[in-house]
Structure 1
């Protein structure tokens, strides 16, 4: 059993927020996904981001407000947001006092290969 905590992660400045990529945990080996901690200070926001990966983001501390396509969605602690590939988004921390922490898990979407002629037909 292994335990990873955002409070002691090595963070760098990326996308206008603090990021802790899971590559820092060398004992994990190869995973079928990438992950990172995202820490946004009180009242802060990320830069707009867009990427080819699917993103599964779990709010682990605070409340996040995700903005995408003109829509804003509030995600409380323990909530999850799923972002599609190429979906432009910004993350806001509406709290004036508490940092927001998110565990972002992301991966390249699987490409469905075309079925051979006649496959799957009755």
Structure 2
């Protein structure tokens, strides 16, 4: 059995989010995707940014709103959002007291994987 604990994992701050890297996980199978646990502090937003990877957010706590390209909507726990690669996005926590938490899963599309290896 392999176990990661929050106490043992490094937390970093990137793009205005507090992050805990889940995968890749050293000495454990490497899946075709990466993932992080993300938290936006109360009344804060992530930095507007985009990636070369496709991305999915699975919201697990708090409340806020997400802007993907020109679209914006409120989010609550249980919401799942897909973000195509190259699309700018921003996540905002609308609570004054509670963090907005979500899992981010991201991957390169097969055509981009082949291009990356060239």
Alignment TM-score, normalising by the size of structure 1 = 0.78
In structure 2, relative to structure 1, the CA distance for the partners of 1:24 and 1:10 (3 Å cut) is: farther
Q: Superposition RMSD on alpha carbons, in Å?
A: 2.3
Alignment of 1:97-112 (within 5 A): 97-111=97-111
Deviation at 1:14, TM superposition (A): 0.6
Larger radius of gyration: 1
Alignment of 1:47-62 (within 5 A): 47-62=47-62
Number of the residue aligned with 1:34: 34
Mind listing any 5+ residue stretches in structure 2 that lack a counterpart?
Answer: 112-118
Alignment of 1:1-122 (within 5 A): 8=7, 9-23=9-23, 25-26=25-26, 28-111=28-111
Q: What SS does the corresponding residue of 1:32 show, helix, strand or coil?
A: coil
Decide whether the 8 Å contact of 1:75 with 1:81 is kept in 2.
no
Q: What SS does the corresponding residue of 2:59 show, helix, strand or coil?
A: strand
Q: What SS does the corresponding residue of 1:86 show, helix, strand or coil?
A: coil
